[in-house]
Structure 1
């Protein structure tokens, strides 16, 4: 073909395409018209004839309505083709096509006035119709077949796994005769187990915190003062020397433990205050300082009572004896005192419970962590074990505590009533 002829034909095609325009077909709407079919696997020969059957009679005159109810059937010498129920689901999903015919002679594109849905065809092989269908194998049959293949063709590792699974397999039929005895033994063994309420009560008693009240509605009553500082020790404490001192430096020098910024700042604030609670707060500060000095002595291998009596001479000996009895342990057959991790934790939670009382139940844990040379996370965890929540104070709470707006971003351990202890964390499966 010459270049001139090919260029001439190309121009004719371009002119025909330019002249093409769309129009609606005037086909008879009373007939079914062309249908769209989709063959998922087998493509039948072009000579295959198809017939349409209606599942139900249409009440409307429009034949396009309910087209998904048509049944399209075709047949070849070897297979049968029938439109499946998937056709209806395709129609409900909104899958529709517009069928158009392009007349190359006139350049017109005629479109059918109604959309068409694709009929999804399913095929059946005639030679296999007489063979009855086999039910799917059960799980047990599948495992037996898999085991047989593994024993015949598997590797050494796979065969070892198969033998291990067979050893661990439980024969349920062999347990039928003894199940009643097993259940009886379980019921008998469960008689001594605690109920849910008893288990909770036992868990609360074993908490490494001071005695508490679950029914208290006031934070001041959650941890009673005499359960932290016994009444006999409370009455024996004397703070008259603090009133006689002339300066804050002299008062700080009277404390058993002088390296706590939190204690020193609170001592200065209490001395400058006036009111009935001044003496009470001074006693609490003195007791906290004594417990901090006792904690510092616990870092040694053993605790010597005589040396602590000299070091804590500002408090009565009854206080020192109480600290030894509550926060130390003695080994069997020995008289030496030593502190364990549990007693150290118990001592800290007693200190923090007293700190909450002086801070109106909102303590700055950052200052406390700095004084104790511990991380803020560890201190927060101990305050949480007391039932506190680590949070920022609201504007109203800052005003109640006399805090400035500059402390709005500081987090504090806040105790509320009734007290709620943290729930144990569940490990991820």
Structure 2
């Protein structure tokens, strides 16, 4: 009986099948592999290609070669191959890598590579210029294609376009007649200066001086408060009292923080400005008048609630800031008269504030939104902006006041331009 020979099986080494991966140790900016794609004509294998950097850029060691603006180009006897403009777009959102495996070290080295989509150009056709085609020829060719291969709907659209086409030669005989008719009909139209003057005169603001050189000359005091009404105001009683509470009790409108603060500030001076006190008194009367006539105008109620105000002032406010409808004898307050009243009031506020008014406080007093009040100040020619350091020093305000936007009136006077509506 034959004896079976015994043999030891060699144990499998687990390390033999392991492959390690590593990133390329070459500098990132050094020329590396490039991936190219030939979507149309493919170059012969013997064609040599070069890689060029298309833009000068500062290159350091951390710059990726794949991120550099490069161009791949090569040529044969008949055709030029080069990177197309689609190469950059093709790489957006994608990254490509090339891996090289070393059987001896069992290491696979990986490096990022840019993708270039190549296009080509026949050398013999470089000198040929494209045929010049006019717009009319292009339209005619397009219509011919539509008539031959278009759908029924497309053919109907082509015929409709042909019917609506103008015959320019037929218009030549009436061109002079049309021009004369246009000139005759436009003679009555106002000039640009006249149209601007009409627009300025219709603004819901006090009378103004467009040629003013200083802010104080733009809106004169007596163009807002008639001199006859101004003379009836007596500031003595307010100046003589000592407390803020007593001063507020003498005002026609007592719930305005803006008026109360300014009145206290003016009266705290060793020699209070009678002009400022009288102006604040008139602003208080205007606020009270607006509050009374805001919802419904009743002349008897106005006189009753403003019993301490001279009647000449009440009559003046009624005549300037109300309207009497056609066929009626009773005046009424409208949105336009209210706007006119507010702009007159704000022009006086600017005078007291040395032409830099905090609009937030006034908006709270009038229970209005800030942008609404800012728009009215802008209609007076103000700009809503933060004060500069020079303005803060001029007004005697602390540096912290520079964080608050104010309505600033300056010269030359410039009104906001009307917004142009965009086409939908």
- TM-score category of the 2 structures, normalised to the smaller one: 0.5 to 0.7
Structure 2 match to 1:297: 292
Deviation at 1:283, TM superposition (A): 1.3
Asked if the contact 2:357–2:406 (Cα under 8 Å) also holds between the matched residues in 1, the reply is yes
Structure 2 match to 1:399: 393
Asked if the contact 2:293–2:302 (Cα under 8 Å) also holds between the matched residues in 1, the reply is no
Q: Does residue 419 of the first structure (1) align with residue 420 of the second (2)? A: no
Q: Report the CA distance shift for 1:149/1:200 in structure 2 as closer, same or farther (over 3 A).
A: same
Instruction: Judge which range, 285-294 or 419-428, deviates more.
Output: 419-428
Structure 2 match to 1:123: 124
Looking at structure 2, the residues matched to 153 and 323 of structure 1 have their Cα atoms a distance apart, in angstroms, of 77
Structure 2 match to 1:222: 218
Q: Does residue 288 of the first structure (1) align with residue 283 of the second (2)? A: yes
Looking at structure 1, the residues matched to 365 and 153 of structure 2 have their Cα atoms a distance apart, in angstroms, of 60
CA RMSD of aligned residues (A): 3.3
Q: Does residue 368 of the first structure (1) align with residue 368 of the second (2)? A: no
Deviation at 1:249, TM superposition (A): 1.7
Deviation at 1:146, TM superposition (A): 2.6
Larger radius of gyration: 1
Deviation at 1:287, TM superposition (A): 1.0
Asked if the contact 1:365–1:379 (Cα under 8 Å) also holds between the matched residues in 2, the reply is yes
Give 5+ residue unaligned stretches, structure 1. Answer: 1-39, 47-71, 75-80, 87-118, 125-132
Asked if the contact 1:254–1:314 (Cα under 8 Å) also holds between the matched residues in 2, the reply is no
Asked if the contact 2:146–2:155 (Cα under 8 Å) also holds between the matched residues in 1, the reply is yes
- Give the secondary-structure state (helix, strand or coil) at the position aligned to 2:173: coil
Asked if the contact 2:356–2:407 (Cα under 8 Å) also holds between the matched residues in 1, the reply is yes
Structure 2 match to 1:346: 340
Q: Report the CA distance shift for 1:170/1:358 in structure 2 as closer, same or farther (over 3 A).
A: same
Structure 1 match to 2:61: none
- Deviations along 1:78-105, whole A, 9 cap, x unmatched? xxx699xx9xxxxxxxxxxxxxxxxxxx
Q: Report the CA distance shift for 1:237/1:122 in structure 2 as closer, same or farther (over 3 A).
A: same
Which residues of 2 match residues 217-366 of structure 1 at below 5 A? 217-245=213-241, 247-275=243-271, 278-300=273-295, 302-366=296-360
- Give the secondary-structure state (helix, strand or coil) at the position aligned to 2:212: coil
Q: Report the CA distance shift for 1:285/1:134 in structure 2 as closer, same or farther (over 3 A).
A: closer
Looking at structure 2, the residues matched to 149 and 172 of structure 1 have their Cα atoms a distance apart, in angstroms, of 25
Asked if the contact 2:216–2:351 (Cα under 8 Å) also holds between the matched residues in 1, the reply is yes
- Deviations along 1:264-306, whole A, 9 cap, x unmatched? 111222222243x622112111111111112223321x41111
Deviation at 1:253, TM superposition (A): 1.9
- Give the secondary-structure state (helix, strand or coil) at the position aligned to 1:413: strand
Looking at structure 1, the residues matched to 130 and 349 of structure 2 have their Cα atoms a distance apart, in angstroms, of 78
Instruction: Judge which range, 247-256 or 258-267, deviates more.
Output: 247-256
- Give the secondary-structure state (helix, strand or coil) at the position aligned to 1:208: coil
- Give the secondary-structure state (helix, strand or coil) at the position aligned to 1:213: coil
Looking at structure 2, the residues matched to 343 and 397 of structure 1 have their Cα atoms a distance apart, in angstroms, of 33
Structure 2 match to 1:177: 173
Deviation at 1:371, TM superposition (A): 1.1
With the length of structure 1 as denominator, give the TM-score of the two structures. Answer: 0.66
With the length of structure 2 as denominator, give the TM-score of the two structures. Answer: 0.66
Structure 1 match to 2:209: 213
- Deviations along 1:122-168, whole A, 9 cap, x unmatched? 237xxxxxxxx995543223323333444555446545544554454
Structure 2 match to 1:388: 382
Looking at structure 2, the residues matched to 335 and 160 of structure 1 have their Cα atoms a distance apart, in angstroms, of 65
Asked if the contact 2:343–2:376 (Cα under 8 Å) also holds between the matched residues in 1, the reply is yes
Structure 2 match to 1:35: none
Looking at structure 2, the residues matched to 196 and 393 of structure 1 have their Cα atoms a distance apart, in angstroms, of 35
Give 5+ residue unaligned stretches, structure 2. Answer: 1-39, 47-74, 83-119
Q: Report the CA distance shift for 1:140/1:253 in structure 2 as closer, same or farther (over 3 A).
A: same
Q: Report the CA distance shift for 1:167/1:121 in structure 2 as closer, same or farther (over 3 A).
A: closer
Q: Report the CA distance shift for 1:143/1:308 in structure 2 as closer, same or farther (over 3 A).
A: same
Looking at structure 2, the residues matched to 358 and 283 of structure 1 have their Cα atoms a distance apart, in angstroms, of 10
- Give the secondary-structure state (helix, strand or coil) at the position aligned to 1:176: helix
Instruction: Judge which range, 191-200 or 358-367, deviates more.
Output: 191-200
- Deviations along 1:344-377, whole A, 9 cap, x unmatched? 2111111110000001111111111111122222
